[in-house]
């Protein structure tokens, strides 16, 4: 089999479709390199002294794990000096991270969830990194937080890495979705799946069912119908999976279909859900749509939402088109 590296893929993609100019290619390669470093740290586990709590909290009041902090630093360091970015933002930082003045600045904005699935770090279950790339408003070299508040439809690239049995990188630049596997011996990303497509029909769903008592009626109805199986209104049985790492759940869905849900619920009625719009929901929505699936907050296409805040939360329904459309339609009735 002829091996196509990430670099070769990016260069050829630019030649064919003109969607990946050199600066964006550098950005993607640098993010991929940082993910390689994170993957290496993750795989060391206790031997690398990377497990456990960092003894701090992030802006959302969540306890930071050592790997949350480490991965954040790795992504910041890798991306500061290349001249391709105007600024960065992260789940683990209250406000944006401008590029230090000693480096040249570029036109892109990078957002990331450096370590997704934190609760799985210490138990050796798949975790990952999620990222989203926007363009800074025309001519703006010193962007503020407001410059980041663009709807997901403005993303020029998005992707995630999964640190699981294999380390993979899944990427879109708006022209389909491709998957690269990390060759650990060679240290390179190799194209292993071209043009991934989410099957339209599915028999699998993913939701944290321990929150069932807090769900609002449309979610209750949708899940009850799935649980009723063959004898219920859906006329067939469904299976359930919940990994508690969005990256791993989305990766399964990209490969074999399914619907992923993290709805808003009555626990904290003011909160529109748990997941963050700008560096979790938007990049995943971009990937899923590029693979032929759908992503909504129950009412609206996720990528159409105009963000009001950097760390804004959002309800998420994404995956196989027919199921997402059904769950969304129950919210409209």
Binding site for Mn ion (CB under 5 A): 91, 113, 115-116
Radius of gyration of the chain (CA): 19
245 binds, among Mn ion, ligand AHG, none (CB under 5 to 8 A by kind): ligand AHG
8 Å CB contact between 189 and 170: no
Residue number with CB closer to Mn ion (113 or 249): 113
244 binds, among ligand AHG, Mn ion, none (CB under 5 to 8 A by kind): ligand AHG
Shortest separation between residue 129's beta carbon and Mn ion, angstroms = 8
Residue number with CB closer to ligand AHG (117 or 218): 117
Residue number with CB closer to ligand AHG (22 or 63): 63
329 binds, among ligand AHG, Mn ion, none (CB under 5 to 8 A by kind): none
Residue number with CB closer to Mn ion (123 or 332): 123
Tokens linked to 175: 């022209």
What is the crossing angle of helices 321-332 and 217-228, to 10°?
Answer: 140
Among candidate residues 307, 310, 304, 311, the one with its CA nearest the CA of residue 328: 304
What is the residue-wise DSSP string for 196-243? ----SS-SEEE--GGGGGG--HHHHHHHHHHHHGGGSTT-S--EE---
Q: What angle do CA 210, 213, 215 make, to 5 degrees?
A: 95
208 binds, among Mn ion, ligand AHG, none (CB under 5 to 8 A by kind): ligand AHG
Binding site for ligand AHG (CB under 6 A): 62, 91, 113, 116-119, 208, 244-246, 274
Residue number with CB closer to Mn ion (107 or 116): 116
The tally of CA atoms less than 13 A away on the side-chain side of residue 117 is 26
Tokens linked to 235: 């006329």
Shortest separation between residue 317's beta carbon and Mn ion, angstroms = 17
8 Å CB contact between 74 and 92: no
Give the CA distances from residue 231 to residues 56, 237, 238, in Å, rounded to whole numbers and listed in that order.
49, 8, 12
Tokens linked to 162: 């999964």
Shortest separation between residue 256's beta carbon and ligand AHG, angstroms = 18
Residue number with CB closer to ligand AHG (147 or 275): 275
Count of beta carbons in the 10 Å neighbourhood of residue 146: 12
Shortest separation between residue 225's beta carbon and ligand AHG, angstroms = 22
Among candidate residues 311, 312, 316, the one with its CA nearest the CA of residue 328: 316
Residue number with CB closer to ligand AHG (37 or 211): 211
């Amino acid at each position: 089999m002829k091996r196509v590296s990430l670099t070769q893929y990016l260069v050829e993609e630019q030649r064919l479709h003109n969607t990946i100019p050199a600066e964006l290619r550098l950005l993607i390669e640098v993010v991929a390199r940082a993910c390689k470093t994170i993957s290496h740290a993750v795989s060391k586990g206790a031997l690398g002294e990377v497990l456990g709590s960092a003894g701090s909290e992030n802006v959302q009041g969540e306890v930071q794990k050592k790997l949350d902090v480490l991965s954040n630093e790795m992504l910041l360091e890798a991306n500061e000096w290349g001249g391709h970015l105007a600024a960065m933002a992260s789940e683990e930082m209250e406000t944006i991270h401008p590029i230090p003045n000693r480096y040249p600045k570029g036109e892109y904005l990078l957002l990331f969830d450096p370590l997704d699935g934190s609760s799985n770090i210490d138990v050796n279950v798949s975790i990952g990194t999620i990222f989203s790339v926007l363009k800074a408003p025309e001519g703006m070299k010193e962007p503020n937080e407001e410059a980041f508040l663009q709807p997901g439809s403005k993303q020029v690239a998005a992707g995630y890495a999964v640190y699981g049995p294999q380390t993979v990188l899944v990427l879109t630049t708006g022209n389909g979705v491709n998957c690269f596997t990390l060759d650990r011996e060679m240290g390179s990303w190799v194209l292993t799946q071209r043009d991934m497509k989410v099957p339209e029909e599915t028999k699998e769903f993913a939701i944290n069912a321990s929150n069932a008592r807090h769900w609002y009626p449309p979610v209750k109805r949708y899940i009850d119908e799935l649980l009723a199986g063959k004898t219920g209104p859906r006329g067939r049985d469904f299976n359930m999976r919940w990994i508690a790492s969005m990256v791993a759940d989305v990766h399964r869905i990209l490969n074999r279909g399914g619907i992923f849900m993290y709805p808003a619920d009555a626990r904290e009625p003011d909160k529109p859900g748990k997941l963050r719009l700008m560096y979790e929901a938007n990049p995943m929505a971009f990937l899923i749509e590029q693979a032929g699936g759908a992503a909504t907050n129950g009412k609206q296409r996720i990528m159409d939402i105009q963000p009001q805040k950097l760390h804004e939360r959002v309800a998420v329904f994404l995956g196989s088109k027919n199921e997402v459309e059904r769950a969304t339609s129950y919210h409209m009735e």
